[in-house]
Structure 1
Amino acid sequence: MGTFTLSQVVVTRSNEEELLSIARTLEEYSTHPTAKAVVAYFKDKGISTLLSDKFRNIVSKV
């Protein structure tokens, strides 16, 4: 028999502006077509991006 592990993802930050900035930053680096719409929405709302030099976009070959 194997081991069954149950985990739960929990948001630990309560600063909404910071969470939106993180989300915009991730979408800014994405090549997914929907990301462009998300980034445009964030720009329109004045949500800023965070600086990141450690982001890698790995494109699926499916």
Structure 2
Amino acid sequence: MVAWLDEEHRRDREEIARLDQRLQNMAIEKQEQSRRIQDLESRLASTAAQLTRFTQLEQALQ
């Protein structure tokens, strides 16, 4: 009975370690995705500003 409990405890520790590693990896991935989103938002704002200027230029040329 004690051997069985020891084995179950060992398996539980391994599973907890595996889940902890997975959680850490997900946290890193979330940070990377957040940085990418900020970069894309910045690019989108810049593109929108350029489009506005192009539209104004196009209207001025007509």
Q: TM-score range by the shorter chain?
A: under 0.3
**Bigger helix share:** 2
Q: Which has the higher contact order (CA 8 A, sep 6+)?
A: 1
Report the TM-score when normalising by structure 1. 0.28
